[in-house]
Chains A and B, each alone.
Chain A
Amino acid sequence: MKKTIIVGATSGIAQALANQIAQSGASLVLLGRSASKLDLMAQDLRLRHGATVEIEAIDFDSFDSHAPAVDRAIERLGGVDLAIVCHGSLGDQKACERDFRLAEAEFRTNCLSAMSFLAHLANRMEEHGAGCLVAISSVAGDRGRQSNYIYGAAKAGLSAFLQGLRNRLFPKGVHVLTVKPGFVDTSMTAHLKKGLLMASPERVARDILRAAESKRCVLYTPWFWRWIMLVIKLIPESIFQRLKL
């Protein structure tokens, strides 16, 4: 029985993850903003899969509350094998350009609060000498583009943080997986057109759990994003600055 903590559990990808994890017989603690949404989710997971599911509503912006929430979750589970940090927000790039306070808020959610949870989880796993840490970053963090560099910069920060964490925890027996999804069909992308690049959250969740199982370091999901981003990263900056991306 895998003991799993999901932070940002009501996000589209996290819901699919929780469903697949509960199906495999794991016990779960779900942390998220909305108590009523967490409650609906927990009822479904308990009923469909007979899973042990506990919930706790948290405020992502109040960093002081994160460590105690992580400790309570680990206590409830009697340990932790897998922790997945999923929360995020896709802010309005144009609005963030006009008002830096909005950009700052995006950074707090997508970068700092994720780091805050990861920091506490990493320390607890390090003490224990085992565990798997997963965080959802984004392909947007691979290169800054005019269309969403606030989100991209926050995710780039998160990706670098995860690299360092992986390097630090490797000798301690703790694995760190960075997930870089492309477009996923969730409420975050509801305003975008559903093209060929749009993947289902179920497929992305399946990829993530498989990558965590096989101890991959960085996962692009669906797989073709690795190659798309490779091309985008290879374009020299002197040319890139002229592109409308």
Chain B
Amino acid sequence: MSWSCDPLPAGRPGETVLPHGLGRSYGDSCLNAGGSVIVTSAMNRLLAFDAATGIIRCEAGASLDAILQFATPRGWFLPTTPGTKFVTLAGAIANDVHGKNHHRAGTFGRHVKQFELLRSDGRRLLCSPTDNPVWFSATIGGLGLTGLITWADLGLRPISSAMIDVESIKFRNLDEFFEVSAESDQAFEYTVAWVDCMAQGRSLGRGIMMRGNHAANGGGTLPAHRPPRFNVPVDFPSFALNSLSVKAFNTAYYARLRQRLTRAVVHYDPFFYPLDAVKNWNRIYGKRGFFQYQFVVPFTGDSSAIREVFARIAKSGQGSFLAVLKTFGELKSPGMMSFPSPGVTLALDFPNKGAKTFELFAELDRFLLDAGGRFYPAKDARMPAECFVKSYPNLEKFRAFIDPAFSSSFWRRVTGTEDQP
């Protein structure tokens, strides 16, 4: 679908459809096996911008990349952003994505002013906190199942520089993380920590906290980012990533910083989107690929749950390059099915080592379900139905808003309605 004024393309008779943007969800929440997807990436026009309020209207398939290209030189920035800018506006809404400033700004959905939802019966619903508010709520974090978003209004935030004042602080273990994190959340808009999840014993949970604020006016222009500089042209062989190389990488990455605290002024692009610099970075994981695993657990001063997760991962010997730890704030999302909730979130990636990896996931699932954990659909390719059902208390309420012509592989998998393979 290339035009927001077009009617909804029909699937093949008896089959379902699913909106598909740039396909950056890690698992099958953007796929629809046995049905069709409606690709929206060419429906990407910027339609209006109010320089007084910072509200931009775009067609659903406009990427955050394009919005930044437009907004940055004009002194505006995304209200919050995930770790890649190669996602569409509607994808960011459908997954109610979060960023390093969740403790200040909440989820992406909080900054969506209104959007148009096209249903398979041809109705076009204008949705906002005041118009069709329940549809607004169901569609934010609704995984593309409530209909197709054709355009949306997003509230940007003003900036006076394209640069970020960044501080990197080492923490030697998990207790130090929580100290540094609490202190950072007070003084910094953006906070996120990388954790060496191969470290054990007294160093368990050691890592580097990266925190930043938009720099004050440098007096110059506000340059937007450039296209990716590097490319991974082919899949790496599967033996390239093993527990030794991951351990070596993590140790080196931790040791890279000599001082406890270092300061720098960097452009927003490497700060928010380090992986965007390398096109097709996922090929490093080889043909078998990798899994993401992200959850949030409530945190009330007791870090034992996170500690236990790290201990089990370290014990399994299956490492993760990018273990990312962050505390979510209290700000509530308007989304009925939104993932972020107050607590600590940990995102991990694991090379796919087959049964061994699945065993670790099953162990973590069981432990986290007992600890009140919640799992993130956008990063999932394997969670059992139980994990999903227990994660989302509004699930039954949400079902009423699903468009009868829409479905996804993820949805059928986690609600137990999957057809025989």
Contact = CB atoms under 8 A, between A and B. Distances in A.
A41 interface: yes
Contact of A43 (B3, B42, B45): B45
Interface in B25-64: 42, 45-49, 59
Contacts of B4: 40
B47 A43 contact: yes
Interface residues of A, number: 11
Nearest to B45: A44
Nearest to A40: B45
Nearest to B49: A47
A63 B281 CA distance: 53
A162 B135 CA distance: 54
B45 A37 contact: no
B295 to A, nearest CB: 37
A238 interface: no
B70 A48 contact: yes
Interface in B283-319: none
Interface in B1-36: 2-5
B3 A37 contact: yes
A37 B5 contact: yes
Given A47-B70, A48-B70, A40 B3 contact: yes
Nearest to B4: A40
Given A40-B59, A48-B70, A187 B2 contact: yes
Contacts of A10: 3
A184 B59 CA distance: 23
Interface string A103-120: 000000000000000000
B152 to A, nearest CB: 14
B2 A47 contact: no
Nearest to A201: B42
Contact of A47 (B3, B5, B48): B48
A62 interface: no
Contact of A48 (B5, B42, B46, B59): B46
A34 B5 CA distance: 10
Given A37-B3, A187-B2, A44 B47 contact: yes
A36 interface: yes
Contacts of A47: 46-49, 70
A10 to B, nearest CB: 8
Given A47-B70, A48-B70, A40 B5 contact: yes
Interface in B43-101: 45-49, 59, 70
Residue from the set A34, A36, A37, A40 with the largest chain B CB neighbour count within 10 Å: A40
Contacts of B48: 43, 47
A34 B6 CA distance: 10
B185 to A, nearest CB: 36
A44 B2 CA distance: 14
Contacts of B49: 47
A41 B3 CA distance: 9
Nearest to A39: B5
A10 B42 CA distance: 12
B45 A41 contact: yes
Interface in A45-84: 47-48
A49 to B, nearest CB: 10
A37 B1 CA distance: 12
A36 B45 CA distance: 13
Interface string A147-173: 000000000000000000000000000
Interface of B: 2-5, 42, 45-49, 59, 70
Question: Would you list the 7 A-B pairs with minimal beta carbon distance, nearest first?
Answer: A44-B45, A36-B5, A43-B47, A47-B46, A37-B3, A44-B46, A40-B45
18 contacts: A10-B3, A37-B3, A40-B4, A40-B5, A40-B47, A40-B59, A41-B45, A43-B46, A43-B47, A43-B48, A44-B45, A44-B46, A47-B47, A47-B48, A47-B49, A48-B46, A48-B70, A187-B2
